[in-house]
């Protein structure tokens, strides 16, 4: 049950686009479309942003988009805003019927 691999940090200026990658294996990301992305502010509970690889939850800005290719999922945030500064986690269902999270990515808006 190894964690999915995410970059520890990414940064971008307001208005720019950034992409956070999430690399797993054929036993998780590569074999399921139950891949999701969560946003977490310091001291707060995580919030589901994207599920089933690319579907935004209600109320989530269209600036957030998800995709997957092989064993790697990606979260893209376009038109960066200061309020996007947070930690982001990916997650995937696995062939062992467990869930696995990525290590998390700290997004800094410069």
Partner 1 sequence: EVQLVESGGGLVQPGGSLRLSCAASGFTFSTYWMHWVRQAPGRGLVWLSHLNTDGSIATYADSVQGRFTISRDNAKNTLYLQMDSLRAEDTAVYYCARAFRQQLIHWGQGTLVTVSS
Residues found near partner 1 in the complex (CB under 8 A): 1, 3, 34, 36, 38, 40, 45-48, 51-52, 57, 89, 91, 93, 96-104
Nearer to partner 1, 17 or 57 (CB): 57
Least distance (Å) between residue 33 CB and partner 1: 9
Under the phi-then-psi rule, with left for phi > 0, alpha for psi from -120 to 50, and beta for the rest, what region is 72? beta
End-to-end alpha carbon distance in the chain = 34
Question: Closest distance between partner 1 and the C-beta of residue 79, in Å?
Answer: 25
Q: Give the residue with the Cβ less far from partner 1, 36 or 71.
A: 36
Phi and psi dihedrals of 97, rounded to 5?
A: 60, 35
């Amino acid at each position: 049950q190894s964690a999915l691999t995410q970059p520890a940090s990414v940064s971008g200026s307001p208005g720019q686009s950034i992409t956070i990658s999430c690399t797993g294996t054929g036993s998780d990301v590569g074999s399921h479309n139950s891949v999701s992305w969560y946003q977490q502010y310091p001291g707060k509970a995580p919030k589901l942003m994207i599920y089933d690889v690319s579907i935004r939850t209600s109320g989530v800005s269209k600036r957030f988009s998800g995709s997957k290719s092989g064993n790697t999922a990606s979260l893209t945030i376009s038109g960066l805003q200061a309020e996007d500064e947070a930690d982001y986690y990916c997650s995937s269902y696995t062939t062992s019927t467990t869930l696995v999270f990525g290590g998390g990515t700290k997004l800094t808006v410069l």
